[in-house]
Chain A
């Protein structure tokens, strides 16, 4: 491990708890839908409302997704895990307890690796457990009262808990991005942070290097990577200030306010509830047979790290390219489709990481919405590689494809007259004319001045209206000037 970056002489220690909403159609213990955005309380059935006599029944799809996650990050899948009740009163918690896992979670251990710049980082996971979400309390729009929407109550969550392995806000954000990539890649979570499908809590503390772990404060519900970084940076500065001023840090739960850029305490340890966890007698132990695990393993898609390694090995891409292209499954698929169609992996990588990404970012759209298909890009790259058009001309064709001016690469090259001059007779004629018209440059070149040669090439390109193949011009000119 490299020496951690210090902030004002303090080492930053961060651990994460992430709630990933699992992509099932129905709730974790009932058959009600989990679709987002329905009218309040229209997706809450008798079980979700905790009506007398109702009981939880496990959603197998939620368990399957937990297994997928565990296998993707190399965890132990517990053959027998236990659901427990976390007891507390709150109006949006209909039963007065949340069904979660406490002592024996379904996913145990595992690790998430990623690059922070050039440095490979590994964050160890403690566990991931299944639990149900609570409903929502709506404090606006009800003067003097609160509204309760139980549509979200019972939504399946996987809570993913790390060791305190991260040493900077940048590393924390990189971890969160990698985790986000994994859960969306294997399809267990839609990753929609605005809708709350992927919410992070960061446990942050600071210490002098080599010292005991400091007292942590937990920043709750970070739902964007930008806020995550801001919140942790603020929290670190605040904690260091407190310590420098001689104040001890109190264990607390804090919220980040994006408007002020500050964190503020919600509750301190003193008012922490006693949740009175105990095994839920309504749910027998969750037993997962090894053949179920093996079936899930066999159906698991190729994971981003493995795919990146394959891109390096099979396509000869640099590690950086491979990592960038495997940021999302759609991006990786786009690359691989392009590369296989044009047989020019590095060119494909350059185009996707350059021109394509630039336009996606500018338009704030994902690769799925790109107006240029992988097949079109491959056709374009093929024409550049076989010398039909120049790189510059390629960019013009790409523009036309992107703007919808045309859909067929060859037709666009034709219409726009971008084909490079392949008739060497015509090119030779132009070169002869240029040599004849520029005796000074010819003389200077023969006297050993390379600059003069470049000037001649420029003249030829100009005379050909840019259609000449620069390499061909070079070769012909050199042989003629002997």
Chain B
């Protein structure tokens, strides 16, 4: 084993890419190193599928491309995908019994785009069923090395949840089982687990990354993004993931591909950071507040100016989100009917019986709850009172942001009101879970880019994330603001004990 490979799981994506390009590392030894770590730390429950042969074949191809000098920007860099992206070479379950063992005949656009840059896929990562959850406790598919479905564990304290729904992605990156992972964010599913696991994650502007091949939860909100340890790594990955996909996704933006690393070193002098007072109210835990305040102080030292702003409808974002997302989900999940693919019940008497049993068996409680809420709010006689009203307020929430961006360049606040809680603590209380999304929902509803950056540690030494929200297509600015903080702090470099 070479000197570098003993701790190569500590290397950033950028550094791995450099060493691979310089041929100091081979893609195969890199992949093998991570595959070994994935096996060693199966207890975390982060991975739901690995396929060493496929991974090593991809790595050999990357080595060949590197040798031939025709390699992409991420040649040989191992990554793992949230199990919400469909993949040809790995199962795609979306965390659901409904899709146990399902194999897609095609790859998601995000998967294809990363592969086109030479990234090597390590496997698929656990997530809440159909991306519905804030704790990664809504899991119906066993992780590798497990015989039964279990919640993913937070590497900083394995009795705690990693956040959700991209909990497997956050846990895997924090535990150095993968240098980076893909995630999806519908109401905070990249930012909140990134915050809880002390890593960096960005949800781009809605439409930046193609939704083709993402198992749909709430179509008007779902957005893919990278999760890695640093803003620089996120910038590298996001550049590869984003781009128009007009042939496959009508909501994909006609915005050109960008190199988000180019603006990373922009200085912060004169940057106006909006501080929404609604993000610092009663519900915010003191330990989280202290870490966030310290990070904001750091920004002031770096030349930024804090500007008090208001996002007056922040609280309304919870009911609005929990009407719109379930409404879309109730319709999106209708295709899981036992007719064409996925689970079908064994014994049934007629069509209706088949539908009922299949869906009763195939979906978990939280999914059923959201299907019922969604069906209700779209029903005749309730549509106007719920769905239509929610859409109106959604527009107002977007308008509030545009008002705020008159006064500031980016918005900052906590990503979540608390640090990660104990497994099981809120498992029986869906509303408590919903309320924990309050700071991530507004940007989701407005379609704005948002990210979570490690800001320090709170109670029980659990990580705290600082949320940054930018205006449309301002991912480059967000990433540079995050990168500047990471030049001045080392929270993102800390490794949880035992990993």
A interface residues, Cβ below 8 angstroms from B: 46, 49-58, 85, 87, 89, 91, 94-97, 148, 274, 276-278, 281-284
Flag whether B486 is at the interface (Cβ < 8 A).
no
Q: A91-B351, A274-B379 are in contact. Are A55 and B327 (CB under 8 A)?
A: no
State A218–B351 Cα separation when bound (angstroms): 26
Residue B335 contacts which of A55, A96, A278, A281 (CB distance < 8 angstroms)? Answer: A96
A interface: dominant SS: loop
| Smallest Cβ-Cβ distance to A44: which chain B residue | B340
State A51–B211 Cα separation when bound (angstroms): 13
Q: A97-B334, A278-B387 are in contact. Are A148 and B339 (CB under 8 A)?
A: yes
Which of chain A's residues have a CB closer than 8 A to the CB of B85?
Answer: 53
Contact B340 A52 (CB under 8 A): no
Flag whether B295 is at the interface (Cβ < 8 A).
no
Contact B105 A276 (CB under 8 A): no
Q: A52-B94, A52-B215 are in contact. Are A95 and B250 (CB under 8 A)?
A: no
Size of interface on B: residues with Cβ below 8 Å to A? 44
Which of chain B's residues have a CB closer than 8 A to the CB of A94?
Answer: 335, 339-340
Contact A89 B337 (CB under 8 A): yes
A-B contact pairs, 20 of them (CB 8 A): A46-B105, A49-B341, A51-B105, A52-B94, A52-B215, A52-B216, A53-B92, A53-B213, A53-B216, A55-B216, A58-B250, A85-B331, A94-B340, A148-B339, A276-B375, A277-B383, A278-B327, A278-B331, A281-B218, A283-B251
Contact A53 B214 (CB under 8 A): yes
B interface: dominant SS: loop
| Smallest Cβ-Cβ distance to A278: which chain B residue | B378
Which of chain B's residues have a CB closer than 8 A to the CB of A278?
Answer: 327, 331, 378, 383, 387
State A56–B216 Cα separation when bound (angstroms): 13
**Cβ contacts B177-218/A at 8 Å (1 or 0 each):** 000000000000000000000000000000000011111101
Contact A89 B355 (CB under 8 A): yes
Which of chain A's residues have a CB closer than 8 A to the CB of B333?
Answer: 96
**Cβ contacts B410-448/A at 8 Å (1 or 0 each):** 000000000000000000000000000000000000000
Contact A282 B251 (CB under 8 A): yes
Which of chain B's residues have a CB closer than 8 A to the CB of A284?
Answer: 250-251
**Cβ contacts B340-384/A at 8 Å (1 or 0 each):** 110000000001000100000000000000000001001110010
Known contacts A52-B215, A53-B215, A53-B216; 14 further A-B pairs (Cβ under 8 A): A49-B340, A49-B341, A53-B92, A53-B212, A53-B214, A57-B248, A89-B334, A95-B334, A96-B335, A274-B380, A276-B383, A277-B378, A282-B216, A282-B219
Which of chain B's residues have a CB closer than 8 A to the CB of A87?
Answer: 330-331, 334, 378
Q: A52-B215, A55-B212 are in contact. Are A282 and B250 (CB under 8 A)?
A: yes
Q: How far is the CB of A284 from chain B (nearest CB, A)?
A: 6
Contact B335 A283 (CB under 8 A): no
Q: How far is the CB of B130 from chain A (nearest CB, A)?
A: 10
Instruction: Please indicate which of the listed interface residues A87, A148, A278, A284 has the most CB atoms of chain B within 10 Å of its own CB.
Output: A278
State A277–B377 Cα separation when bound (angstroms): 11
Q: How far is the CB of B101 from chain A (nearest CB, A)?
A: 13
State A75–B383 Cα separation when bound (angstroms): 30
Which of chain B's residues have a CB closer than 8 A to the CB of A91?
Answer: 337, 339, 351
Q: How far is the CB of B428 from chain A (nearest CB, A)?
A: 29
